[in-house]
Each structure stands twice: as C-alpha cells, then as structure tokens.
Chain A
Amino acid sequence: MRSYKVRDYVMVGLFGALWGVVETTLGTYVNVIFPWFTNTFFKGVILGSIGVAVALTGRFFIQKRGSVFLIGVITALLKTLSPGGARIGPIVAILMQGLLMEIVLSAAGDPRRWAYVLGGALAVGWNFPHKFIMMRVMYGRNVVQVYTKLAQDGSEMLGIDASLALLILSILLGVRLLIGGVAGWGAWALGGAVTERRGQRRQAAAE
C-alpha cells in the first residue's frame, strides 16, 4: 500500500463507485439494450460481466498490485452503505470476484491480455459456485442432503440419467466462464480505446 499515491486511491474509489453504478443502474438499461435477454440468468451474467469489465478496466489505469481487490472492497462497502442495506451474499460475491481477478493479475506480473481474459472468466465464473457455497454456509451441512435429493428426484421426474445433471452444471459454468473471458478481453480493449481517446483529446487541447 505504500507505493500507492493519491491518484491511485482516487482511481480505486472512482472505479469502485463505477462498478457499483453499473450494478445498480445498468440493470434497467440491459432490458432496453438487450430486450431478448430479460431472462434472469442472462441478465445476471451480463451485469456481472460488465461490472467485472469495469473493475478490470480500472486495473488498466492503476498498474499497482492489489488495486482490483481494493476496487472490489470499495464496491462492497458502498453496497453496505446503500439503501438496500448490508446483505451478506452480494458483498461476499464482490469481494471474491475482486480477489480472484487480483490473484490472476498479480501472478501474471506485467499487464497482459490473457491475464485479463482469465481473471474475467474466473470472476464471472465465481457466480456459479457462489450460490452453492453461500447456501452451505447459510443453511449448514443439511443443505447438501437437500441438493442430493433434489438432483435424484429431478432426474427421476424428467426420466434422465443423474450424471446428466453434472453435464448441465458444467454447461452453466462453462457459459459463465466464456462470458467472463469475453468481459476480460473487452476490458483490455476498453482500456486501450479510452487511452487512445484521452490521447486524442489531449492532442486536440494542445492544438
């Protein structure tokens, strides 16, 4: 943290707020921009990936270790201060997403496109196990029995093999990882586009 300057903290705060804005404001816009994606699953994944893309774009402009995690911390704290109140689920999810992105980006060292793609994929992919892990934490170990029974009953009712449930779960995880990867790729591209635009703006001002 000692290497952080005032500008870095300001950017951490601003991108943390921007992630919060995206989470809260863009929900309504997604319905307008992508009306065919009003399904909750897609909406959640799209919103999550845009939020992750914003946080990763923040890292593009704050090339310091820990910055994405700090952006996540700020977003989580804003969530606790929001009128919706302090809810444990979304706050843990945001912190975990920030941590996963940070681990990948810190391990990669220098900023690289593949690290953004992998970080984005893991962060959006986290939404999937998060639900199960939070249920296990909230309800205790009994919930595992409930899951097992539900899977067995569901496969019996639909007349499909229980192993197919695993395939469905893998597909759901895979879709998230893919969209997250695209979000990471998009964040890299967005960072580049913004840098270019700001360069042009400065050049115009100088002229």
Chain B
Amino acid sequence: MKHFSAWGYLLFTLWGLGTALVARGWELAALVAVELVFGLVWSQEGLRPLRRWRFWMFIGTALAMGPWLGRRAGMTEAGAFPLSMVGLSMGLEMAGRALTLMLAFSLGLSSLSLSDMVAVFDGLRLRGLGFALGVAMNLLVGLQDMARTTFETIKLRGGLRRPLVALRLFLVTLVSNTLSYGDQVVQAASVRAFDPERGGGMGLSPRQADVCLGAVLASFSAGCLLL
C-alpha cells in the first residue's frame, strides 16, 4: 500500500523541481540525498532511471563538461593530472542539478497510477479530462493493434512501393477507425448516462502522511535558506 496519496507524490515532485532549480553547491548534494531516501523508502519505482546507462551517460557528460571547460579557460593546475577545481565543481553542480531534476520528476510521477491521476482530475473538478485519460489508456492497446494490422495489410498488398501513398492510406485508415472506436465509446457512455460535469465523488483528499511530508519538505527548504 502506498504511504502517501497522489497529492503527496505530486507535492514531492513540485517541491523537488522547484528546489533543484534554485539550489546551489552543497544544497544540491543534500537534495540528492533527500530524493534518494524518499525513493528507497516510498517510491522504488521512481528510481528505475538509475538503472539505465543512458541516464548515467547524460549525468557523466555534465560532469565531464566542467573540467573540460576549466581546461579550455586555462584554469588548470600544473601537475601530472591537470585538473581544475573550479571546472570540477562546475561539472559537479551541472550533474547534480540534472540528477535532482530527473529524480524529482520520476519519483513523484512514477508512483501515480491511472486511478490516482483520474482521482486528481476529479479533485480539480476536471472530471472530463480524467475520463479522457481513462479512455486513452484503455484503448491504447487496441489502437496499437489496429495500427499494426493496417500497416501489415498495406505492406502485404504491395503498398510500400509508393511510400507517400502508403503513408496517406495508413493515416486515413488509422484516423477513420479511431473515429469509429470513438463513436462506440460515446454510445456506451450515453447508455450509462455518463455526464462529465456531474457525479464523481472519487476526489482524493490529502492524508495525514501528506501533511507530514509537506512539513518535512518545508523545514528542509527553510534549513537550506537559513544556513
């Protein structure tokens, strides 16, 4: 079971993004630590990007750019390893900012399920948008299958000999079938007397844990400002 409601995770993402944009130096290091602890304890799904080599390549590039910039600007110190401390700290800061921003985004949003998002839209009185998201998610696989079938049919009938005509045929079929799907969903919704402006009641209220999280994050920010 999730410890926080969707509001808690959204709060963490917004706080993380905001703090990462204004933090400097050691504040970024502290933020990385907070995000890692949050991820390990409450959002392990959100730490998934750390397992991708592309993520580390991105961070590594930022880290390497600092010393390179320092060397180009002649800020290196003489010796066997001509490293510039200014360049290195510059690279660390760039890498730290990128890491905190990506983690803040991933940790909060990866923990949200479809029903969480729909509930958030309900809470924001945007019930229709939650409904649209549900429709999109449920028909996504159907649309993917339809796209694949359409492409294979065009290919088997030799349509790829004229690529532009094939693309036009593909898109016209895709959009026509999508509209037909839409008609069916609208019919089903009308039969159930669904009204996006009425009903609902699935709105999500913040839990006590969300309030505690908010207080902890606020005190962290205050601590950074005071020190």
- With known contacts A21-B147, A57-B175, A85-B110, A9–B98 Cβ distance under 8 A: no
Q: Does A25 contact B (CB under 8 A)?
A: yes
- Closest Cβ of chain A to B20, distance in Å, is 9
State A198–B181 Cα separation when bound (angstroms): 13
Q: Does A107 contact B (CB under 8 A)?
A: no
Specify which chain B residues have a CB less than 8 angstroms from the CB of A81 in the assembled complex: 113-114, 117, 137
Taking chain B's interface residues, is the majority helix, strand, or loop, or is none over half, making it mixed?
helix
Say yes or no: B136 contacts A17, CB within 8 Å.
Answer: yes
- Which segment of A116-124, A136-144, A161-169 sits at the interface? A136-144
Chain A 172-206, CB-CB to B under 8 Å as 1, else 0, gives: 00000000000000000011011001100100000
Q: Does B119 contact A (CB under 8 A)?
A: no
- With known contacts A7-B186, A13-B132, A15-B178, A1–B126 Cβ distance under 8 A: yes
- Closest Cβ of chain B to A84, distance in Å, is 9
Say yes or no: A10 contacts B171, CB within 8 Å.
Answer: no
- With known contacts A13-B136, A142-B94, A18–B178 Cβ distance under 8 A: yes
Taking chain A's interface residues, is the majority helix, strand, or loop, or is none over half, making it mixed?
helix
Q: Does B157 contact A (CB under 8 A)?
A: no
Q: Can you report 13 residue pairs joining A to B where beta carbons are below 8 Å apart?
A: A1-B129, A4-B196, A6-B194, A9-B128, A10-B186, A17-B143, A70-B132, A81-B117, A81-B137, A137-B21, A143-B94, A153-B72, A194-B179
Residues of B at the A interface (CB closer than 8 Å) are 21, 45-46, 48-49, 62, 65-66, 69, 72-73, 90, 93-94, 97-98, 101-102, 105-106, 108-110, 112-114, 117, 126, 128-129, 131-137, 139-140, 143-144, 147-148, 151, 155, 160, 163, 166-168, 171-172, 174-176, 178-179, 181-182, 185-186, 189-190, 194-197
